[in-house]
Amino acid sequence: MGKHNFTLYIAGQSEKSLKAVENINRFCIDNYQDSFNLKVIDIVKEPEKAETDGIIATPCLRKKSPPPTITFIGDVSDKFSLAKHLGIDWK
Partner 1 sequence: MALHKKRNGRIKKIETGIQGLDIISEGGIPEGRTTMVSGTAGSAKTIFAVQFLAEGILKNGESGVFITFEETPQDIRDNMIDFGWNIEEWEKENRWVFVNAAPQWKDKTTVVGQYDLAGLLTRIEYAVKKSNARRVSFDSLGAIFNQFSETAIIRHEILRLTSALKELKTTTLLTAERTEDFGGLTRYGVEEFVTDNVIILRNVLEEEKRRRTIEILKFRGTPHQKGEFPFTVISDQGIVVIPLSAIELKQTSSNIRVSSGNKKLDKMCGGGFYRDSIILISGATGCGKTLMTTEFIEGGVINEEKCLLFAFEESREQLFRNAMGWGHDFEKLEREGKLKVICEYPEVANLEDHLISIKEDIEEFKPNRVAVDSLSALERVSTLKSFREFVIGLTSFIKHQEIVGLFTATTTSLMGGSSITEAHISTITDSIILLRYVEMFGEMHRGVIVLKMRGSMHDKEIREFTIDGTGMHIGRPFTNVTGIVSGEVHHIMPDEKERMKTLFEEES
Interacting residue ranges for partner 1, rule: CB under 8 A: 9, 11-12, 14, 16, 19-20, 23, 43-44, 47-48, 50-51, 54-61, 68-79, 81-82, 85
Distance CA 44, CA 83 (A): 28
Which of 35, 42, 33, 32 shows the shortest CA–CA distance to 7?
A: 42
- Residue 40 or 73: which CB sits closer to partner 1? 73
Distance CA 18, CA 60 (A): 12
- Residue 2 or 54: which CB sits closer to partner 1? 54
Q: How far is the CB of 56 from partner 1 (least distance, A)?
A: 5
Which of 10, 6, 5 shows the shortest CA–CA distance to 50?
A: 10
Q: How far is the CB of 22 from partner 1 (least distance, A)?
A: 12
Q: How far is the CB of 55 from partner 1 (least distance, A)?
A: 4
Distance CA 63, CA 71 (A): 6
